[in-house]
Amino acid sequence: MSAIDVHKPTLIGRYEKVIGVLVKYGFADIATHPPFSRFIPKWKKLMPTHDGHPVTEFTRYERMRMVCEELGTTFIKFAQIASNRPDILPEELVEEFQKFQDHAAPLPVEDIRVVLEKELGDKLEKSFENIDFQPIASASMAQVHRATLVGGQEVVLKVQRPGIGDTVELDIHILKSLARLLEHRFPQFDAYQPMELVKMFETSIHKELDFRLEGANMRRFEEQFKGNLEIYVPTVYPEFSTEKVLCMEYIEGIKCTDLAALERIGMTGAQLALKGINLYFEQVFDHGFFHADPHPGNIFVLKDQRVCFIDYGMMGTVIESDRELLADLLLAVHDHEVDGLKTALLRFSWDDAKIDHASLEYDINEFFQNYSNIGLEEIDSNEVMAALNSLFFDYKIRIPSNLLLLLKALVIIEGVGLMLDPRYNIIQNIHPFVVRLFRRKYSPAKFTKRMAKTFGEISKLATSLPEDVEDIIEKIKKGKLHIEFEHRGLEPVDNALDVASKRISFALVLGALILGSSLLVIADVPPHIKNVPALGVFGFVISGILGLRWLLSIWKQGKF
């Protein structure tokens, strides 16, 4: 039996692990509900401590991070992806989830060799001169190894950790159970939309588990920058790549934050910051396909001063209409326009029916007041993004996930820019791209195309309108016209009526039972217990138990 099979996880084993960690960090209230309650005996002896300190010394959000940290890869990835939703999660929890660093201990050589042999087969011996089984990077989902192809080409092999796919599937099953439990039994978590977060995570993690998609991302990225001498994209070798192995060109470059090495090739930090942000905004506003994890470890500079991004597992896509929407928002922030920012935020939202527009306008005005007396060069974009995220969360403004991914990436890229140039300001640099986007949006060619499309739609409507009107009149004559009504927002009323009717029915039965027992006592119906009719006593006891249960039920719901 291989090392992969020995460590294959089971659903019961993962449930027990999850329950143990939930209880350890003070979430026993969740663990006592099904399906988790079946495993209670397994964790009774666990002590709720962390690093020798009682878990009560930590905040609830810190304990949530600790739970994900201890449960491993899937839960850490879930937390990282969930941190991209500041419109759903509170700022404190987002900050905790953003603390995760994706590092893991290297796997034994034999485990990696088994994966390579299974995925590449005969190609492993025929096409590779050498493979260094000492990893140059080791993360929770994969390891990266240097290798040499026959002919001397230096490459790297990104190898998926054995068994990680099985663990992820089991953990997704558990996460869905946990999300359903939170939605049904803990209404205070409804605002976090746990099931939506799990579904978003499921889609994202399945993409990350298929390395062929990362290879396709690299080829698409290379195609969109074809002919651009400022950027370099590593070559992908699809013939040596599979779902679990990715083979790509090895990059010998300078880490973007190594200012001394940059100086040796004749480049300053300020020059790289400007070049990097221009390339990034070109990805976003010109191509709508961007690198979603541009931290310093994923950006290198070649000796000829070309910028090279690596790790294309997490990419974002922004369609033209969303790019224009983002431009509206950023331009409103740049120009301190209250109405402009309010309009942009409401257009971001999928449902603004429940938003208090007056309060939102006051908060936006306060948002701008905070920066009114500060020079543009002194504004911290991290604070600006954090303030925007607070508006998203406070007013439940639902943002498409890719746009939130982009906002987070912009915060990361600004952090990299500040490492290179302390005077760097993303808001100043983004303005020319936003203006260029608006010029393209309102260009004569675009306007003509839009007018032609509108004219075509009007012509189509005018052509079909007489026939549609005739069809409606014919149905009215024949009595076949049906109108459907859809009731929305009546679920709370329906639930309240259901509860009220059940309580009234219960009260009637209880009252009848008490009245019947009283009549039995008055009529002195035998048999007797200490000269009191036994049936009457029995009726009063049952009435008391049922009445007490009724009162407890009402008390638990907090409604008297």
Q: Who wins on pLDDT, 381 or 309?
A: 309
233-242, 285-294, 341-350, 383-392: range with lowest mean pLDDT: 383-392
pLDDT at 177 over 70: yes
State the average pLDDT over residues 170-188: 83
- Preceding amide of 527 cis, omega within 30: yes
pLDDT, position 515: 82
Q: How confident is the model at residue 494 (pLDDT cuts 50, 70, 90)?
A: low
Sign of torsion, CA 39 42 47 52?
negative
pLDDT at 526 over 90: no
pLDDT at 346 over 70: yes
State the average pLDDT over residues 261-270: 94
Q: Who wins on pLDDT, 400 or 253?
A: 253
Q: Who wins on pLDDT, 277 or 370?
A: 277
pLDDT, position 30: 60
Q: How confident is the model at residue 230 (pLDDT cuts 50, 70, 90)?
A: very high
Rounded CA-CA distance 144/63 in Å is 31
Rounded CA-CA distance 557/418 in Å is 52
State the average pLDDT over residues 312-337: 81
Q: How confident is the model at residue 79 (pLDDT cuts 50, 70, 90)?
A: confident
pLDDT at 45 over 60: no
State the average pLDDT over residues 194-207: 84
Full strand arrangement of the beta sheet holding 307-309: 231-232, 307-309, 299-301, 254-255
At 16, the amino acid letter reads E
Q: Who wins on pLDDT, 237 or 491?
A: 237
pLDDT, position 62: 87
Question: Is pTM, for the whole model, over 0.85?
Answer: no
- DSSP lists the bridge partners of residue 156 as 146, 248
pLDDT at 301 over 90: yes
Structure tokens belonging to residue 72? 């491993």
pLDDT, position 53: 67
Rounded CA-CA distance 99/324 in Å is 32
Compute the mean pLDDT over every residue in the chain, rounded to the nearest whole number: 79
Q: How confident is the model at residue 216 (pLDDT cuts 50, 70, 90)?
A: very high
pLDDT, position 36: 58
State the average pLDDT over residues 300-311: 94
Tell me the DSSP string of 534-546: HHHHHHHHHHHHH
pLDDT at 4 over 50: no
Q: How confident is the model at residue 218 (pLDDT cuts 50, 70, 90)?
A: very high
Max CA distance (Å), the chain = 109
Tell me the DSSP string of 372-392: TTS-GGG--HHHHHHHHHHHH
- The 10s digit of each residue's pLDDT in 374-387 is 554 555 666 666 67
pLDDT, position 314: 85
At 44, the amino acid letter reads K
pLDDT, position 46: 46
